[in-house]
Amino acid sequence: MNVTERFLKYVSFDTQSDENSETCPSTEKQKLLGAFLVEDMKAIGITDAHMDENGYVYGSVPGTVEGPVIGLIAHMDTSPDCSGKDIRPRIVEYSGGDLVLNETQNIVMKARDYPSLERNVGKHLIVTDGTTLLGADDKAGVAEILTAVEELLAEGGPRVPLRIGFTPDEEVGRGADRFDVKGFGADFAYTADGGTLGELEYENFNAAAATVVLHGVSIHPGSAKGKMINAMQLAVDFHNMLPAQERPEHTEGYEGFSMLHGMEGDVESATLRYIIRDHDRMKFEQKKDRFQRIAAYLNEQFGEGSVTLTIKDSYYNMKEKILPVMHVVERAKAAMTAAGMDPVTVPIRGGTDGARLSFEGLPCPNLCTGGENYHGRYEYIPVEDMERCVETLKHIARP
């Protein structure tokens, strides 16, 4: 199969992960794609391909020459932010202007809102019908890795040993939780989990999740004076004490943020769920400290126990682990250049499995896959860019 055929097959699997699940993988349906990938891997010559009990898929490709053992990693799950069920992809030769995704429902990708379209005029874009995400994050990475391996094996010639790994649950921050770094046996690795063609990333956010539970006192509103504590109002007060300028919609580049991504409640109890992000470790700790100070203030005002705060770190900036081994980044730059790209290093405004894996002893920068507008109905990926990413992976594997 070529990379487009492979990608279109993979996106037919619904593999959304679930942050509220405590199982691994968080959704059993991820294993359906995992099992299919094992068979695909065996069909192209990865004889030891297998899936473990946690839904992680592994395989190896022997080298024909001595060299570093290089890992290639992508994730199988898609974001819970938008439906990944019954994806209806189609390929459009894009000639410019607005792109109608669904005429019946009047879903249009407007060129003025999505400037990335302009640089993709003349390419063949894989899009959805506007009712689901596409799943290029990260099934494009999976398809590109296996297509690169298939072509390397068919072409013969020199290549270093490769290790292949596909993870579940990256989108809910758990992709590296049960990754077998020691058994993987790579000297370093790359995640194929980026976006725009040419981007190479080895800096990412420090990340944490915060859960704020507000406890109120309910009483008839007619006799509430001096007695009612409305947990929902406490939640509003808490949120409004966070700086508005540090919300995602007001930040870019290296600017961090705190984002409210879940809320529920009534008068007696309310819950707010946040993600906290910053590239700078000191600013990251300051953001977490602000949450603590707001909780302490509200407890002082309304009584101890009115606010319960839990903060859990998710991952840290991989930069400190990559700087001592910059030859890994230089290898990727050389491969991208050989594939006809103009590589540019950019900070990830998010995270990848590579961040956690780098801290576990497996240096792991992130490579572009060519996709745009991830996690939503306007997600798309150019066929030509996927093909260029396949070539990059092949160059990485060559001595």
Active site residue 330: no
Question: Which is the catalytic residue, given 14, 77, 144, 169?
Answer: 77
Question: Which is the catalytic residue, given 40, 144, 169, 170?
Answer: 170
- The helix-helix angle for 3-10 and 383-397 (nearest 10°) equals 110
249 by Cβ neighbours in 10 Å (0-12 / 13-18 / 19+) ranks as exposed
Active site residue 264: no
Give the integer Cα–Cα distance in Å for 363 and 318: 8
Cβ atoms 180, 320 nearer than 8 A: no
| Spatial CA neighbour of 121 closest among 163, 82, 93 | 93
Cβ atoms 298, 238 nearer than 8 A: yes
> Which residues neighbour 260 within 8 Å (Cβ) at sequence distance 6 or greater?
239, 272, 273, 274
Give Dmax over CA atoms of the chain in angstroms.
Answer: 83
Beta-carbon count within 10 A of 108 CB: 15
> Which residues neighbour 370 within 8 Å (Cβ) at sequence distance 6 or greater?
136, 140, 195, 196, 197, 381, 382, 385, 386, 388, 389
Pairing between β-strand 269-278 and β-strand 257-265 as defined by DSSP bridges: antiparallel
Helix (H) or strand (E) holding 71: strand 70-75
Cβ atoms 294, 306 nearer than 8 A: no
Active site residues: 77, 170
